Amino acid sequence: MRVRNEVNGDTSAAHRPANMTLQGPRLPAEWEPQAGVQLTWPHAASDWAPILKRVEACFCEIAAAISRHETAVVACPDPDHMCNVLEARGITRDRVRIYKASTNDTWARDHGPITIYENGAPVLCDFVFNGWGNKFPSALDNALTAKLHGQNAFGQASLRAIDFVLEGGSIESDGAGTILTTSKCLLASSRNPGKSHAHIEGMLRDTLGARRVLWLEHGYIAGDDTDSHVDTLARFCSTDTIAHVACRDETDEHFAELRLMEEELRSFRTESGHPYRLVPLPFPRASYDECGSRLPATYANFLILNGAVLVPTYGAPQDDEALNIIQSCFPDREVIGIDCSSLIIQHGSLHCVTMQLPEGVTL
């Protein structure tokens, strides 16, 4: 079991607050102040075509919730249509910025910029997106961050192209130098072939300022196309708290793997050497597509905003329990449930379609 790695050899027990400035680049935690959130809008030329109106309604609910707290930056191929959709839903435009761009799909978490701080200024890291290991067409989405940057969608923030495949949903940051990830995803040969744990850790250190990498060797969600993105499994809620998916039904296909993942999480330690506070999230009632394949519904796919947390719900009996548990993790933020039963039809959820832009990015 690969529990912990001190990337740069610093084993200091000092507990660093998430908002402190570390030497070199720093990947902020999601709970730190934000300027806005990027959305990549669904359209008729994408796989969303059969349920476009339904999924647009979900995107509108997400955009409305974001715009009540910060700015929504929206990429779409047809701004006029987008404006009509927002107007029909009564969403005001004062905190919505719309940019025209052709896209393959809508998963902004994975093709959007991963923003770091360097010398106190935000830098947009534009990693390669190859459709989760060349599973799906991705050329337009891979070019989207540069295209939006060329339209001044991110203000004066600089753009840094990085020749390495990395998706935002594959990593979790505590803002103080610790990154949580999964071996199944980051070591997949379809992403960066031939790269070892050491190679990956070095890349995370050099580009994102990782001091430690916590590797999960276990855990998956059926129907997930991403090779076990960590944002479907386990999430930092603070520097010492991790919320994670738990399955208590021994007859469920996830039971053994998620139990092993929980054991791994229990073995992890904070930088100060203490066990993490672990918060189990319920497993929603199983959902299936029209072909009978299980869909990847998970409550871990929540989005943290300024003053709020958006939580995916699925019309499942476990929805209310999940909302209450996540509220306990974020007592000072409003917890808002968003029906994401349409999103999981295409094998993703709320966090997957969003990418936060931290404070300092001028929108």
**Tell me, what's the pLDDT at 23?**
63
Instruction: State the amino acid at position 175 in one-letter form.
Output: G
Kindly tell me if the per-residue pLDDT of 1 is higher than 60. no
Find how far residue 281's CA is from the centre of its chain. Answer: 17
Model confidence over 271-317: pLDDT tens digits?
A: 999 999 999 999 999 999 999 999 999 999 999 999 999 999 999 99
Number of Cβ within a 10 Å radius of residue 120:
8
Number of Cβ within a 10 Å radius of residue 198:
10
**Tell me, what's the pLDDT at 92?**
86
Model confidence over 128-172: pLDDT tens digits?
A: 999 999 999 999 999 999 999 999 999 999 999 999 999 999 999
**Tell me, what's the pLDDT at 15?**
32
Look at the alpha carbons of 167, 171, 174, 176 in this order and tell me if their dihedral is positive or negative. Answer: negative
| Confidence band for 12, pLDDT divided at 50, 70 and 90 | very low
**Tell me, what's the pLDDT at 24?**
87
Q: Does domain 21-358 have CATH number 3.30.110.60?
A: no
What's the pTM value of the predicted model, to 2 decimals? 0.94
**Tell me, what's the pLDDT at 3?**
40
Listing DSSP states for 250-271 in one string gives: TTSTTHHHHHHHHHHHHH-B-T
Domains of the chain by residue range? 21-358
**Tell me, what's the pLDDT at 242?**
98
Give start and end residues of each alpha helix (H) in 160-242: 183-186, 197-208
**Tell me, what's the pLDDT at 9?**
37
| Confidence band for 11, pLDDT divided at 50, 70 and 90 | very low
